[in-house]
Amino acid sequence: MADLEGLKVAKDYHQEIPFANQNGFYVKGANSLDWGMKRHLSNIFNPKSGKTVMFAFDHGYFMGSTAGLERLDLLLPKLAPYVDCFMGTRGAIRSSVAPELCRAVALRVTSGSSMLQDDLSHEVVAVDIEDAIRMNADCMASQTFIGADGQLSSIDNLSRIINAGMRYSIPTLGVCAVGKDMERTDRFFKLATRIIAEMGCQIVKSYDCENFEEVAAACPVPIVVAGGKKLPEREALHLAYDVIQKGAAGVDMGRNIFQSTHPVEMAMAVSKIVHEGLTDAQGWEFFQDLTHA
Ligand code: 5RP
């Protein structure tokens, strides 16, 4: 391990220069992957815009029944036409979404904690690779706790998921976890997203932060940004617009869609911003026109 004394601060991110190793395939960092991986990534990232709107509804894996997600069977078919990818557990997806209505699947494969605990950073790999293959998952999502008590075991989980994914050409989505007591600084996200990408993940899920454009530039694979806690719709649309401008490859939004007063219209507005280049003001106008809000 490198001696950390006198470590220089990283600063040359060259955000204005596009990612270089891109010849031939549009998903960042995926140029040298095989056909099967690229096929799954093409299911997640729209080939025209190069971006994705993932809908996260995996909250039940540690929060149980969550406001807005009480009836997945009613919600998911309504949202399906307006998002690119469903991020959920195998239990939620198998039980509540008809295969013909399902979008690309980001399958949550780690588990082991519940909101009744203080320390949520210890998880296990709960889904066999064979079941991810049976579900035709387009990627496997693993929670990764950098700087927390469970760091070592979560990196061990992540490695095992990536290794299995490499065997069967299924990408891994490394989810950068933020705990109650964990920093949310750009210093933290630059460290965590880069560790997750260098472990071999093909996609990283992270959060907006100061200097997000530097976090995105220094991450050699696409970053999709979590929505986080419920915001007023106007602010959530601003978040989507802002991170896309700063280099995110999409959003992975949960509560800001399913806890909206109008989840379908919110998904439509987010999609317009992510895929069609609407500004946040235009997205808000679009949302208001649809909902008369
Ligand atoms: C937790 C997750 C969740 O699926 C996701 O972040 C929750 O989405 P949101 O914060 O937008 O409600 O990955 O780590």
Residue 104 CB–ligand 1 contact under 6 Å: no
Q: How many whole angstroms separate alpha carbon 113 and alpha carbon 118?
A: 10
Residue 254 CB–ligand 1 contact under 6 Å: yes
Q: Rounded to the nearest 5 degrees, what angle is found at the Cα of 64, between the Cα atoms of 249 and 267?
A: 35
Residue 103 CB–ligand 1 contact under 6 Å: no
Going from the Cα of 105 to the center of ligand 1, the distance in angstroms, rounded, reads: 15
Query: Domains plus CATH for the chain?
Result: 35-232 (3.20.20.70)
Which residue among 93, 239, 252 has the greatest number of ligand 1 atoms within 8 angstroms of its CB, and so is best to mutate? 252
The β-bridge partners of 31 are none
Name the closest-CA residue to atom 7, ligand 1: 254
> Are 261 and 291 contacting, i.e. CB atoms less than 8 angstroms apart?
yes
Residue 227 CB–ligand 1 contact under 6 Å: yes
> Are 230 and 199 contacting, i.e. CB atoms less than 8 angstroms apart?
no
Ligand 1, residue 58: give the atom nearest the CA. Answer: 4
- Give the pLDDT of residue 129: 98
How many other CB atoms are there within 10 angstroms of residue 187's CB atom?
14
Q: How many whole angstroms separate alpha carbon 198 and alpha carbon 203?
A: 11
Dihedral, 275, 194, 215, 57 alpha carbons, nearest 10: 40
Residue 58 CB–ligand 1 contact under 6 Å: yes
Ligand 1, residue 205: give the atom nearest the CA. Answer: 13
Question: What is the full per-residue pLDDT of the chain (293 aa) written as tens digits?
Answer: 777 778 888 899 999 999 988 888 999 999 999 999 999 999 999 999 999 999 999 999 989 999 999 999 999 999 999 999 999 999 999 999 999 988 999 999 999 989 998 888 899 999 999 999 999 999 999 999 999 999 999 999 999 999 999 999 999 999 999 876 677 899 999 999 999 999 999 999 999 999 999 999 999 999 999 999 999 999 999 999 999 999 999 999 999 999 999 999 999 999 999 999 999 999 999 999 999 86
- Give the pLDDT of residue 21: 86
Q: How many whole angstroms separate alpha carbon 148 and alpha carbon 119?
A: 9
Going from the Cα of 60 to the center of ligand 1, the distance in angstroms, rounded, reads: 10
Unique residue bearing structure tokens 């907006």: 208
> Are 207 and 189 contacting, i.e. CB atoms less than 8 angstroms apart?
yes
Q: Please give the positions annotated as active site.
A: 205
- Give the pLDDT of residue 4: 77
